[in-house]
Amino acid sequence: MTAETISVSIVGSGPGDPDLLTVKALRLIREADVVVYDLLVSEQILDLIPPGVKRIFAGKAARKHFMPQHEINELLVTLAAGGDKVVRLKGGDPFIFGRGSEEAEHLSKHGVSFDVVPGITASAGCGAYAGIPLTHRGLAKGVRFITGHLQEGKTLDLNWKSLADPDTTLVIYMGLTNIGHISEKLIEAGLPGDTPTAAIHKGTTPEQQTILTTLGDIPACVEKAGLKAPTLIVIGPVVNLAKDIAWHVPAKDCDMESHG
C-alpha cells in the first residue's frame, strides 16, 4: 500500500511536547485535508496544523463524551468516502489505551485504507520527563500498563494479586477517579503501603507537576494537590530515582503531616 492510496492515518501525537512527535506524524499532519483530534492532543501540536486544514474535535474525558466512539468511527469512514486525506490525531500512542485499534477495525470492515503511526505513550514520555525509568537494574524486572478507567456500569475488576508484584513497575492510565479503590486493593493484595508512588500531571509539558508519595498516601495526596486529568500514576521502587534524576521539573514530596 502506497502513501497515495491511504485514506486515514491513525496518528499518535505523544504525551504533549511537540518535539516528541515522530517525523512521519509531523509530515502527515502537514499533508492532511482534515484532522480529527482528541482532548489530550496539546495546543502546541494543534498549532502545527497548517491554516486551512479542517479541524474536528472528537475529544473524550472521563464520563464526558463529546463524540461517542461509534460516531467517531463513522465520521472517519464518511470523511474518507468524500476523498479527504484524514489524520486521526490521538494523544500518546493509538494502540495503548487509545482505542485506535477499534477505529482501525471499523475502517477495515468498511474497506477504507489506513495506516497507523505509533506515538510515544504517556508512560514512557512522562516517566522520562519525571526522571522515573520504568525499568532499572535491581529495582524493576518488568512493567505493566493498567487502565484505571471503567466502562459504564462496570467495576474495576483486575487481578490485584498478580499486580501486587514488588519487582514490577505499575503504570496506571486514567486512574485518578478510582485511585482510592486502586490503592486499597493493591495493599489488600500484598503490595506494601509504603511502596514509592508518583503522580505526574501534564507530563512533558511546561505545566508538568510530579508529586512523590507512597501507595497508601496517594489518594489523599492527589486530592490535596488538586490534580486533574491528565495525570499518570507510577507505582514501584523506580519512583525514588526521581529524587536524583528528575530534569524537566523538580519532583516534590507530598507532605501528609499537614493534611487533614
Which of 25, 28, 89 shows the shortest CA–CA distance to 55? 89
Q: Quote the DSSP letter at residue 67.
A: S
Separation of alpha carbons 149 and 145, rounded Å: 12
Task: For the chain, report the end-to-end CA distance as a whole number of angstroms.
Answer: 60
Which one is catalytic: 24, 60, 224, 252? 60
Active-site residue flag, 38: yes
In angstroms, the Cα distances linking 239 to 83, 201, 205, 222 are 48, 15, 19, 16
Beta-bridged to residue 201, according to DSSP, are 209, 231
Residue 171 β-bridge partners? 145, 234
Residue 161 belongs to what H/E stretch? helix 160-163
124 CB-side CA count, 13 A: 10
Q: Is 194 tagged catalytic?
A: no
Pairwise CA distance, residues 28 & 53, whole Å: 12
Distance CA 125, CA 226 (A): 22
What is the grid cell recorded at 155? 467495576
Please choose, from the candidates 88, 113, 118, 79, the residue with its C-alpha nearest in 3D space to the C-alpha of residue 2: 113
Q: What is the DSSP letter of 60?
A: E
Select which of 17, 19, 33, 38 is catalytic: 38
Catalytic residues: 38, 60
